[in-house]
Amino acid sequence: MKPSILFLTLSMLLITACGQQSVKPVYLDSSKPLEDRVEDALSRMTLEEKVAMTHAQSKFSSAGVPRLGIPELWHTDGPHGIRPEVLWDEWDQAGWTNDSCTAFPALINLAATWDRDLSRLYGDCIGAEARYRGKDILLGPGINMGRTPLNGRTFEYMGEDPYLAGELVVPYVRGVQSNGVAACVKHFAVNNQEVRRTATSSNLDDRTLYEIYLPAFRKAVQEGGAWAIMGSYNLYNGQFNCHNKKLLCDILKDEWGFDGVVISDWGGCRDDEEAITNGLDIEMGTWTNGLRGAASDSYSNYHLANPYLERLRDGRATEEELDGKVRRILRTVFRTSMAPEPHYGSFTSPEHYAAARKIAAEGIVLLKNDGILPLRPQSGSRVLVVGENAYKMMVVGGGSSNLKTKREVIPLDALHEAFDSKASVVWERGYVGDTTTVYNKVVTGQDLSESRSAGQLLSDAVTAARDADYVLYIGGLNKSKGQDNEGTDREDILLPYGQDALIEALAAVTDKLVVVNISGSPVAMPWASKANAIVQAWYGGSESGHALVDVLTGVVNPSGKLPFTMPLALADGPIKTERQYPGVKEEGEKWWQEYYDEGVFIGYRWYDTQGIDVQYPFGHGLSYSTFELRDASVKRSGKGWTVSATLANTGDVAGAEVVQLYISDVEASVARPAKELKGFAKIYLEPGEKRRVKFDIGPDDLSWFDTEKHAWVAEPGAFRALLGTSSADIRAEIPFNYDK
């Protein structure tokens, strides 16, 4: 080649190369604004590629655009840890050996911490585990309200109060998403029971919807900036929630300005037309061993697959509408796997176990204590431990939140660790609850078989109790069917497996009885007056045993507070009729109908307003120290008020107290709850230390939702600010006026 031709060729090559560099597609350029990347990617896609993104391509993934190098989205349960890998088309385990995660405490345990910082820590850690495992969307947290104590998924949610759940969901979402993983907040909305969850319509007025069932979701979206929302299985006012126009289009997307992706619950999408028009963006779990029968070529048969393509081709659906969905999906990709800053995550790190232990311990609630706790057994003393939950591993079970964890410390092992050098620890099972040790092929390796009869078990426990210096009962519920479990509700709030009789029998032979109830939902405690101390612990995850023993021995001073009311009896609650729960079905009707006749009066809003006694009130929890609230005041500040008081630790142990602010509307024109939580602060104080606590409130905190005006209304008149350490233990009441 002549030099001049060589020069020309090289220059052309260079120009092409440079040219190629300068025309790097916008969607691949992470320095470009998100919306530009979305529009650029969208403009390059075919109709078929767009539709492929709107439905599942496997049990837990939805398609990307391989031609453009846009990766698929990987979804994973769940709220408490990263689910083990499943087969492509099935719920069954894939059998990986490197997918054992850190199990974090159940969300109800997190809610009981009443600690926003711990919620952020939880989100940070679980988000890092999800990212490490290559997941883009974490299917959680769940924030449905505790309407009935029987709901099998209460343990996966954040209690009965919209303000508490709203304050805690925000940092969780931010923490998860700081790892480049979308939090998929679920289950939107009014999905408050498991009984017939796919065939029941929750029917309620807007006031109840806006005041009780939506606020935590709104905060997750508007303050937490959630990138994903999961529609729920049930219907709301007659339309399925995975394509409920009012919930998804009118409220979530229009009113709240949600710009993320709406994902169906697995198998929750039921109709071609509604799936297209009513706000759903990705359809998951419809076929393949899900809620519906599997068909061949199942993913193509999804509502948002071939049926959608047909409608697009024959003009019954518009590409503009499809683009709306794809924009949201692309946004999710550019926020997660194609985010400007790469994230790598971390898995089962010592930091994650430490976080799990801290959160679990901080959420344990000391319900009662006559001074027996903290347990400091003298040298040579005998500690008898009774109850299946001292031994049974509980990270497994419960449904989709079932986990395979690298380690789980059971209470009995942690007790041995703490006491063996000075006291003898002996375990008696006392009763047989659930002997399952394999959940969806996750094997615990425990042997829970039992040859003794129920009578023998009880009498062995009672005999051993006679000689014991301390009797530590560790029982409660578990995560098997009919207990704290997805897909089923409980039938009663009494303890199962004859535990009430067993606790009574133990109380008759010892005056050193500590009862630890491990559960994810409220239980009745008819024996409460006979126990020297009662501790409410939860499914605490990998470090549950350590966390419990930390509290029992005083290594951690308890500071957890109940995120729900512990009633005396189920019948005391607001749900009185079948039409309220579990719903009724008229002859010839397709779906069950359920009416939220109790309106806004759930949980303490009901008990307080009606003046009904409870076993332990919402917000209750003791400490090994004592706290005083002094010098409470309300002062006008700008358009609102500052409510403040001084909290003093008057005991001799360092610890935390949760100061709770409730507002009471004295002169409302509509029936309002006696009081509602509008602020809380968890304050840690050394003995003798004190601190001023301040809450800023405004007219919004005084308002109720007017259905007719479709607006929040704060009525001028008299109000009271109530400051306390539970919904029942109000230490200061300060009247104030709202003049507008």
- Chain residues in the site for ligand BGC (CB under 6 A): 77-78, 139, 186, 265-266, 400
Q: What is the dihedral of CA 732, 665, 611, 623, to 10 degrees?
A: -30
The structure tokens 């039938």 sit at: 491
For the chain, how big is the Rg over CA atoms in Å? 27
Compute the distance between CA of residue 495 and CA of residue 736 in angstroms, rounded to an integer: 44
Task: Identify which of residues 236 and 641 has a Cβ nearer to ligand BGC in the complex.
Answer: 236
Q: What is the dihedral of CA 396, 399, 403, 407, to 10 degrees?
A: -20
The structure tokens 């101390």 sit at: 533
- The DSSP bridge pattern shows strands 711-713 and 513-518 to be unpaired
Instruction: State the nearest-atom distance from the C-beta of 689 to ligand BGC, in Å.
Output: 43
Sheet holding 137-138, edge to edge: 56-58, 61-62, 73-76, 137-138, 182-188, 228-231, 261-263
Catalytic one among 161, 265, 434, 550? 265
Task: Identify which of residues 266 and 299 has a Cβ nearer to ligand BGC in the complex.
Answer: 266
Q: Is 265 an annotated catalytic residue?
A: yes
Contact 616, 562 (CB under 8 A): yes
- The DSSP bridge pattern shows strands 200-203 and 182-188 to be unpaired
Task: Identify which of residues 234 and 649 has a Cβ nearer to ligand BGC in the complex.
Answer: 234
SS3 of 83-101: the string is: CCCECCCCCCECCCCCCCE
Task: Identify which of residues 186 and 368 has a Cβ nearer to ligand BGC in the complex.
Answer: 186
Compute the distance between CA of residue 398 and CA of residue 289 in angstroms, rounded to an integer: 19
Percent composition of the chain: helix, strand, coil (DSSP 3-state, to 5): 30, 20, 45
Task: Identify which of residues 77 and 608 has a Cβ nearer to ligand BGC in the complex.
Answer: 77
Instruction: State the nearest-atom distance from the C-beta of 350 to ligand BGC, in Å.
Output: 28
Task: Identify which of residues 148 and 234 has a Cβ nearer to ligand BGC in the complex.
Answer: 234
Compute the distance between CA of residue 576 and CA of residue 62 in angstroms, rounded to an integer: 43
Instruction: State the nearest-atom distance from the C-beta of 42 to ligand BGC, in Å.
Output: 28
Compute the distance between CA of residue 98 and CA of residue 75 in angstroms, rounded to an integer: 18
Instruction: State the nearest-atom distance from the C-beta of 265 to ligand BGC, in Å.
Output: 5
Instruction: State the nearest-atom distance from the C-beta of 58 to ligand BGC, in Å.
Output: 12
Task: Identify which of residues 187 and 678 has a Cβ nearer to ligand BGC in the complex.
Answer: 187
Instruction: State the nearest-atom distance from the C-beta of 420 to ligand BGC, in Å.
Output: 40
Instruction: State the nearest-atom distance from the C-beta of 630 to ligand BGC, in Å.
Output: 45
First and final CA of the chain: distance in angstroms? 88
Long-range CB pairs of 348-353 (<8 Å, 24+ gap) are: 348/100, 348/101, 348/102, 348/129, 348/406, 349/102, 351/125, 352/102, 352/104, 352/125, 352/128, 352/129, 353/102, 353/407, 353/542, 353/543
Instruction: Please give the positions annotated as active site.
Output: 265
